[in-house]
Chain A
């Protein structure tokens, strides 16, 4: 698996000059409190277009609160979110999706008893009219589903197969492909490689690379630190509700990342 150089990426698809000059995502001073717990204490984070950012942090550090705020599932206590230089207020996931921010949840949100194509088109199924009745255009659905999966290099031969019969990696690929079909500007992936077989991790990582090459800005949450070195440009470590550290991927090591997540020199090095 080869990872294309930054320079070879297509810079922009459909954005004006002003949009391409400003960061794809900029979060300033984001705070959020749950009762007595101050989950976020003023997060500042910005991502360039087509950048892959690895978001790290121990359980409870605030990374999932931050991504939920960015994807509209939670509203921030204070702070500002800018997408392509425009200030945005998301009060629902719908708002975020309209601004081009999509999230693939760890539980994938797929329907096990529905086939692959049905899941890819859930909520926006193509329709054809038969005697004036709006019926599902399953033929178009399956044809386009195959094209979508092929375009992303995902091999699932049978789009008629039920999703609950597929492997974890195949399901992950379907969930990512579904989000990718909305032509997102920003894609948040929550633990996409957790509990996958080795081959499947490789496949999901190259799917991420492929999306990045199409100019999608990606935030990757993962506990598998070795994955970050395959796909990420930069790492941000969240600790105690703030961005504790940011590193270019070339300037860091797994050992340093573990220290940054835990917040002290850590000698056992369990992640090696």
Chain B
């Protein structure tokens, strides 16, 4: 089957294109475009199958919903992190911003007796403001995203500790709305599972089906080229970082709600887990290509791994080691898959 890449530029006027591309061809192209998706899916299947045999309680709806509830915050932040990384940036401050937003919410409700709805809104606003501050430093001042967000991680963690004076702030009695996103149920479905699903779908549609998402990908691939076509590159990047802050706030609300109290120490190391899952899902750390579905599968894989190892009575100390090794292995596979076609044959490279 002649692939799309063997065509040469010719000037003849023979009938040019096939009206429809055959399904198989499209599938192969999809695989070429998303090599990470295939490998993370395989890894997830291997995890699920292994643990289903090793740990009898693993393969059940209850356990699946537990995994979703426990990791909803990670799913949400992984979605926005995918956008950030696709532009070629990084956001290390999501864990600290999550804690800061949780503290803001509890502080507003406890100290200032703000109605729960406004406390929730205040938390989301705080996160968005934090993300916007990151974005302004990156786009207006031109600082490297790694440095900006590393510094703001420190600032927001410190602000949380300062506000709460190192204590955790219990959510006030009778303000069940604050706990609802993190531990509520809608019939048989946990609320955090619904929120994470909405976030992942919205993120995926945004990245792959909107102009904004197109520019996010384009900026990661060739920022100057996108700028020359008249796109406001700075604004797109600013919005991406603001969204990352908003998503971090939502993550913080979910974590706080699940625990029933806001702690300045939630989400320590959270950003690194999220970044690992995003890269595991096939998103290019250098930008230009991202998959929100891949990131969600990445989080799900790491979550299943942790959950399964615990249920299989493996030492919790081993869990971290396994997680790290499997991340390295998966990314290794991704790298060797890249630049190969559906049949694993290395494509000729034209470089870019």
Contact = CB atoms under 8 A, between A and B. Distances in A.
A173 B222 contact: no
Interface residues of A, number: 52
A1 B284 CA distance: 43
B4 A161 contact: yes
Interface in B27-62: 29, 32-33
Contacts of B352: 112, 163-164
Nearest to B219: A111
Interface stretch (B110-118, B144-152, B208-216, B245-253): B208-216
Contact of A122 (B4, B218, B347): B218
A157 interface: yes
Given A165-B347, A203-B9, A111 B226 contact: yes
Given A109-B224, A111-B221, A167 B8 contact: yes
Contacts of B33: 162
A153 interface: yes
Contacts of B121: none
Interface in B224-245: 224-226, 228-231
A157 B16 contact: yes
B313 interface: no
Interface in A199-213: 199-200, 202-204, 206-207
Contacts of A250: none
Given A112-B352, A203-B10, A157 B18 contact: yes
B282 to A, nearest CB: 12
Nearest to B7: A157
Contacts of A249: none
A226 interface: no
Chain B facing A: main interface SS:
loop
A156 B352 CA distance: 18
B186 interface: no
Contacts of A138: 209
B210 A136 contact: yes
A169 B210 CA distance: 29
Nearest to B232: A123
B9 A199 contact: yes
A146 B17 contact: yes
A266 interface: no
A158 B7 contact: yes
A169 B9 contact: yes
Given A122-B229, A199-B9, A200-B9, A157 B17 contact: yes
Nearest to A115: B33
Contacts of A165: 4-5, 347, 350
B205 interface: yes
B9 A167 contact: yes
A187 to B, nearest CB: 14
Contacts of B315: none
B217 interface: yes
Contacts of B210: 133-136
B11 interface: yes
A189 to B, nearest CB: 15
B225 A108 contact: yes
B9 A155 contact: yes
B21 interface: yes
A74 B26 CA distance: 44
A40 B29 CA distance: 49
B226 A122 contact: yes
Contact of B222 (A111, A125, A158): A111
Given A146-B17, A155-B9, A157-B18, A111 B218 contact: yes
Nearest to A146: B17
Given A105-B228, A109-B228, A160-B4, A155 B222 contact: no
A155 to B, nearest CB: 5
Interface in A92-117: 93-94, 97, 105, 107-114
B100 interface: no
Interface in A171-185: 173
A20 to B, nearest CB: 28
Given A93-B228, A109-B224, A110-B225, 12 more contacts: A109-B222, A113-B217, A122-B231, A123-B231, A150-B17, A155-B7, A155-B9, A155-B11, A158-B4, A161-B29, A199-B9, A200-B8
Interface of B: 4-5, 7-13, 16-18, 21, 26, 29, 32-33, 205, 209-211, 214, 217-218, 220-222, 224-226, 228-231, 284, 288-289, 347, 350, 352
8 contacts: A109-B224, A110-B225, A112-B288, A125-B211, A153-B13, A161-B4, A162-B32, A167-B350
Kindly list the 5 A-B residue pairs having the minimum CB-CB distance in the complex, ordered from nearest. Answer: A109-B225, A123-B229, A158-B4, A111-B221, A161-B4
